[in-house]
Amino acid sequence: MKIGTDIILIERIEKLVKKYDTQFKQRFLSAKEIEMARKTESIAGLWAAKEAIAKALGCGIGAELSFLDIVITKDRKGAPSFTLSQEAQKIHQIKDSSLSISHDGGFAIAIAVITH
């Protein structure tokens, strides 16, 4: 089992959204994630979640895993989970995972737990 965490200042994401809007969002979010994340806090939470997942996988965002290889969804109760692209899943072979995302006090934080 591996754990990854990430925290980000929501204001940092807000500045990027204001400056680049859709172009920024499309660099790290799928179309469904863009629809799901309407508030800046939610966008920051998705950023933190993808970073936390990459850290839990031990590779970071780069050659083995891109932001777009990770797709975050929410169940009907609002609990987040994620899947990897087929190519990334072949590399990382996740057996089980858990994801938590929260925001408060100007920060968004995420924790990912992954079993290989």
HEC string of 46-85 equals HHHHHHHHHHHHCCCCCCCCCHHHEEEEECCCCCEEEEEC
**Is residue 90 annotated as a catalytic residue, yes or no?**
no
- Of 25, 50, 92, 103, the catalytic one is 103
- Of 25, 50, 55, 92, the catalytic one is 55
CA dihedral sign, ordered 82, 86, 90, 91:
negative
H or E segment and range at residue 104: strand 96-104
CA-to-CA distance for 74 and 83, rounded, in angstroms?
11
**Is residue 55 annotated as a catalytic residue, yes or no?**
yes
The single-letter DSSP state of residue 30 is -
Annotated catalytic residues are 55, 103
